[in-house]
Amino acid sequence: MRVVIQRVSSASVTIDNQIKSSINTGVMILLGIEEADTKEDIDWLCRKIANMRIFPDEGGVMNKSLIEVDGEALVVSQFTLHASTKKGNRPSYIQAAKPDTAIPLYESFVKELQTHLSHEVKTGEFGADMKVSLVNDGPVTILVDTKNKQ
């Protein structure tokens, strides 16, 4: 499982010219799922995201977590995070999970993240053509891959 976590002051997802979800202070999470991902990956990653100290404290030091700032989360499925660009100019997405595997894991990820936060976890729509807007605060952008936990 791979994520791009962006600290945001606001973010939204629009589908067919309609805003589906929006958040204020919190994190925008682009979630890439591969066939080998498991519930263990979900649990570890959700704990990591909820407790990652990427928000400023009173002194301006990144020392507070999403939980501590009572922040929101917006999760968007992004199979392109598993793009392989080793050969040629067209990325291969063979490592990305197929929908029958990815959808249940995506839904489980959202539910698990919700157990850590006081706000409803907002989402995009799996497989939809989405327009994602955000104001990256900092900017702070962090990549996490559950296959590289060490």
Q: Which of 14, 25, 55, 78 is catalytic?
A: 78
CATH of 2-148, one of 3.50.80.10, 3.40.50.620, 3.40.50.920, 3.40.50.2300: 3.50.80.10
Known catalytic membership, residue 79: yes
Query: Domain locations in the chain?
Result: 2-148
Known catalytic membership, residue 80: yes
Rounded to 10 deg, the angle between the 99-114 and 39-51 helix axes is: 40
What pLDDT was estimated at residue 94? Answer: 87
**Residue 65: both structure tokens together:** 């977590």
Residue type, 112: E
Single pTM value for the model? 0.94
What pLDDT was estimated at residue 73? Answer: 98
Query: What is residue 13's three-state secondary structure?
Result: strand
Tens digits of residue pLDDT in 15-69? 999 999 999 999 999 999 999 999 999 999 999 999 999 999 999 999 999 999 9
What pLDDT was estimated at residue 48? Answer: 97
Known catalytic membership, residue 114: no
**Residue 13: both structure tokens together:** 């997802």
Neighbours of 87 (CB within 10 A): 8
Integer Cα distance of 28 and 146 in angstroms: 18
